[in-house]
Structure 1
Amino acid sequence: MTGGDGHGAPLAGVRIVEASMLGPGAVTTHLADLGADVIKVEPPHGDYIREMTWPMVEGVSLMHLHISRGKRSVVLDLRLPEGRDVFLDLVRGADAVVEAMRPGGLERRGLGPRVLAEVNPRLVFCGISGYGATGPYRDLPSHGIAYDTWAGLVQPESAGDGHWAIPEHPSIGIHAGPLYAALGILAGILRARATGTGGVLEVAQSDAAASMDWLRSETWRAYERPEDEVTGNPADGYRRREPGTAGMRHGVRYQFYATSDGHVLFMASERELWRNFCTGVGRPDLFERHPGSRYADHAVGDTALRDALTEIFACRSSAEWIAFGVEHNVPIGPVNTPRTLAGDPQFQHRLPWIPADRLGAEQLPSPIRFLDEEPRSPRHAPSLGEHTEEVLRDVLGYGAPDIARLRDAGALGT
């Protein structure tokens, strides 16, 4: 992997000033991974992301090591006029400012979008928060899973003792929100460079969770129309099945099957792929008896066929079935857990770990790959204020007396 200085990177020359707390700061992680210069402005006490969640790696949270990687940390006390003046100087040469916290944090310090636009009309201001800058939940405190429960992605699980529990789940809103925001920032920068005019955008992590799961909510909405207008698909007798897994729960040609050492996901819902499977396992009779529809046929409820497939899949290992799928053009997917994923050969080929000696803990690289270029390795996440003097000196051109004056005034913390 090449280094993380940004030279020659896709976003080299893009500078972003970030004011963030906790997970929403991932907005700029994606941009820093692609070479943007991200200056993380922190209050004197710092972003407590360093102490948040687990695991702690040599006393620092993995969340900080990952989300803050590739960024530079500057301490500024924005409660003081001297601190605000330095922030405005940073904004003058920036492409974007990111407010990744509750809405209005910078506004309350006299550094809202209008003030910043006065010193830099080309500036893109992006706010990202839990429930967004408008609506009845605007000021409701929240943490990551709240956006997924709001969006209907995570449901309470009975603990069996009269209590309720949070089930194991992937986190969608806290990851999708930063991705949407990063996309919006890049769109804003492109427009600003073409027109000379910046803009203000905002993203709610709750909105992002709902948007990522658009098919289910839009399906329920479509089903509010009469059945003669909105139906299921022809292969399933036009039955209006619930969105999500309900149409597959009793599927046969789209289903999990146990192998000799684990499970695979079988997905031969197209007739041609189903034929390939039956031919490959030497069972053309299965296809002859159950040819199904041309597309989207899960053979729902065909218990005889499901029993036959259960016997067939149990005879080979998961790896053998994956190799079979490649050889015979049959969609058969590996089934991993977050713990076993790293042992998968596709993972090892596509997502080689960035070693702990570079980032403090083993971390996944950005999934964005530019062909014919070596993957870039970001810098280690910064300690609090690690780059304060460097940025003031090299980015803003402050001399030693200027920095000493700011330090004496308390604008750079203690």
Structure 2
Amino acid sequence: MGGNDLLKGLKVLENSLLGPGLVGTFLSDLGAEVIKVESPSGDYIRQMTWPIIQGDSLLHLHTHRGKRSVAINLKDEDGAKIYRNLLEKTDVVVEAMRPGTLERLGFGFDELVKINPKIVFCTISGYGATGPYRDLPSHGIAYDTWAGLIEPVVDEDGFKRIPSMPNIGINVGPMLAALGILAAVINARETGQGKQIEVAQSDAAAYADWYRIETHRAYLRPENEVTGNPSDDYERRAPGLAGMWEGVRYQIYETLDGHILFMASEKAFWKNFCEGISRMDLFERWPGSQYADHARNNVELHE
């Protein structure tokens, strides 16, 4: 059995608009049968952003690969009947849009389990099913901004621009949702009872930055309880990768043809590097510790 048929037989109905549809994509990549249900007007992701490849956007081709799609008017009696028939043979329903959309159309979780008692219902949205941001519309970079991941880029004229960076929440959120769905499917098959789960892409973005966030929180505690690394004489460093900015053996350096990431942080790797460039004198002078010692502010070694 190959990696793309591990979920063979799993049937998914995905009600999606734009990027959150990656939930079904990850399941489809593993062999699930995913039907993307759209309104009669369709999903405008097909013409959103650039480039457009033979009439469809790259965003659509990536986000909805491996799926079948069908247009159903859930506000119409005939459309609702078609949808109910699909639900009877479905394992998973994905609501990849603002929370409560399907419930307003008569297909909330309580109604779904009446049709199919073992169904798994997953809602993925920007800001979750509760709280003041619940009904706000948003796009990918908004989740990362909410999570504190975004810093504007200032150009030579002083204008602030959106940074060039991968979108975190819009990609990590669907991954976490897919993981939760698979756990819920296993549980539903064992217990015979359906499950409801929900994921906020803004929360997923914050989760991806957990190390920096949790270090900030840890530093709120007394200094005698939370210290730095032994190789730094227990001095606290800045949270996250900012703590590496003063590093020498864990740093980015300019080269003749670009830049290189140098990572000789552990003692063994640092020794191998010094041997490789025939500069064991460097290792003898700064052997480092058994920990991830990054030789902070060592100007001589930096040069």
Q: Which TM-score applies when normalising by structure 2?
A: 0.96
Query: Are the aligned partners of 1:121 and 1:198 in contact in 2 as well (CA < 8 Å)?
Result: yes
Match of 1:252 in 2: 248
Query: Are the aligned partners of 2:9 and 2:33 in contact in 1 as well (CA < 8 Å)?
Result: yes
- Tell me how far apart the structure 2 counterparts of residues 64 and 302 of structure 1 sit (CA, whole Å): 49
Match of 2:196 in 1: 200
Pair 1:138-2:138 in alignment: no
Query: Are the aligned partners of 2:215 and 2:240 in contact in 1 as well (CA < 8 Å)?
Result: no
TM-superposed CA distance for 1:281, in Å, is 1.3
Pair 1:165-2:148 in alignment: no
Pairing 1:1-400 to 2, within 5 Å after superposition: 9-161=5-157, 163-307=159-303
| Alignment-mate amino acid for residue 262 of structure 2 | F
Percent identity of equivalent pairs: 62
Query: Are the aligned partners of 1:96 and 1:125 in contact in 2 as well (CA < 8 Å)?
Result: yes
Paired residues, number: 302
| Alignment-mate amino acid for residue 84 of structure 1 | A
TM-superposed CA distance for 1:89, in Å, is 1.1
- Tell me how far apart the structure 1 counterparts of residues 152 and 135 of structure 2 sit (CA, whole Å): 24
More strand by share: 2
| Alignment-mate amino acid for residue 185 of structure 1 | I
Query: Are the aligned partners of 1:258 and 1:264 in contact in 2 as well (CA < 8 Å)?
Result: yes
User: Match of 2:101, SS?
Assistant: coil
Aligned-residue Cα RMSD (Å) equals 1.4
Query: Are the aligned partners of 2:100 and 2:108 in contact in 1 as well (CA < 8 Å)?
Result: yes
TM-superposed CA distance for 1:268, in Å, is 1.1
- Tell me how far apart the structure 2 counterparts of residues 239 and 57 of structure 1 sit (CA, whole Å): 53
Query: Are the aligned partners of 1:147 and 1:205 in contact in 2 as well (CA < 8 Å)?
Result: yes
Q: Return the structure number with greater relative CO, CA threshold 8 A, min gap 6.
A: 1
User: Match of 2:295, SS?
Assistant: coil
- Deviation beyond 6 Å, 4+ runs, structure 1: none
Query: Are the aligned partners of 1:148 and 1:172 in contact in 2 as well (CA < 8 Å)?
Result: yes
Query: Are the aligned partners of 1:84 and 1:111 in contact in 2 as well (CA < 8 Å)?
Result: no
| Alignment-mate amino acid for residue 86 of structure 1 | I
- Tell me how far apart the structure 1 counterparts of residues 281 and 156 of structure 2 sit (CA, whole Å): 46
TM-superposed CA distance for 1:162, in Å, is 5.3
- Tell me how far apart the structure 1 counterparts of residues 168 and 188 of structure 2 sit (CA, whole Å): 30
Gaps of 5+ in 2: none
- Tell me how far apart the structure 2 counterparts of residues 162 and 230 of structure 1 sit (CA, whole Å): 39
Larger deviation: 162-171 or 184-193? 162-171
| Alignment-mate amino acid for residue 153 of structure 2 | E
CA distances 1:40-79 after superposition (whole Å, capped 9, x unpaired): 1111110111011111112210111111111011111101
TM-superposed CA distance for 1:90, in Å, is 0.8
CA distances 1:260-282 after superposition (whole Å, capped 9, x unpaired): 42222111111111111111211
User: Match of 1:228, SS?
Assistant: coil
Say if 1:162 and 1:303 are closer, same or farther in 2 by CA, change over 3 A.
closer
- Tell me how far apart the structure 2 counterparts of residues 162 and 64 of structure 1 sit (CA, whole Å): 34
TM-superposed CA distance for 1:293, in Å, is 1.5
- Tell me how far apart the structure 2 counterparts of residues 163 and 66 of structure 1 sit (CA, whole Å): 32
User: Match of 1:217, SS?
Assistant: helix
